[in-house]
Amino acid sequence: MLQLHTQNKTLVEIDNTQKVDVYDIMNNSRGLLHAYARNLLMLTDGLEYNEPYVLPDTSSNKSAAVKENVYSHFWDEESYFKLYPNPANGYITFEYKLDYGISKPVVEVISVDGIHVNTFRLFNSTGIKIIDLRDWNSGIYIIRLSGNGKMLQSAKFVKY
């Protein structure tokens, strides 16, 4: 990036040698640096990326009767999302349901120390996002949902 800046070029004007360096950064880093390198390569080199997700384990023989309106008690007028399980260890599920007209919804996760941990956009009005916690430190985290330029809801969860 410093080379591009000294050459008065933008980030999308990287050459093939610089792309190799960005691939190296992406493959040998984590967190924001990894995401930044990946996004830059998606833009400049046509890198394809699919967000990883976890499917529920359906291999057990356990079964339960499904009742109608299972979640009718869950969505009250002030609630936009639900986190479970809480506390969590490997993964936490972020289930959301947004009102019509909420634009540019963003979810941010910070530690109680105020350290930014993760940010992601929501592209649908309802859905489920599985957040991988395996590389996170144990502790208390705050998850905030913002949209239309204001915070809509926040909640705490524990990673053990």
Least confident interval from 41-50, 112-121, 140-149: 41-50
**Residue 74, SS3 per DSSP:** coil
pLDDT at 53: 61
Asked if residues 105 and 145 have their Cβ atoms less than 8 Å apart, the reply is yes
Residue 88 is given by DSSP the state B
Amino acid of residue 78: E
Q: Is the model more confident about 108 or about 57? A: 108
Q: Which helix (H) or strand (E) holds 70?
A: none
Check pLDDT > 80 for residue 58.
no
Amino acid of residue 107: V
pLDDT at 72: 44
Domains, the chain, with CATH or none: 2-45 (no CATH), 81-159 (2.60.40.1930)
Asked if residues 158 and 133 have their Cβ atoms less than 8 Å apart, the reply is no
Distance CA 62, CA 10 (A): 56
Residue 124 is given by DSSP the state S
Check pLDDT > 60 for residue 64.
no
Residue 68 is given by DSSP the state T
pTM of the full structure: 0.54
pLDDT at 73: 46
Asked if residues 126 and 97 have their Cβ atoms less than 8 Å apart, the reply is yes
Q: Which two tokens stand for residue 64?
A: 């339960």
- Give whole-number Cα distances, 112 to 81, 82, 145, in Å: 20, 19, 16
Distance CA 115, CA 122 (A): 21
Greatest CA separation found in the chain? Answer: 65
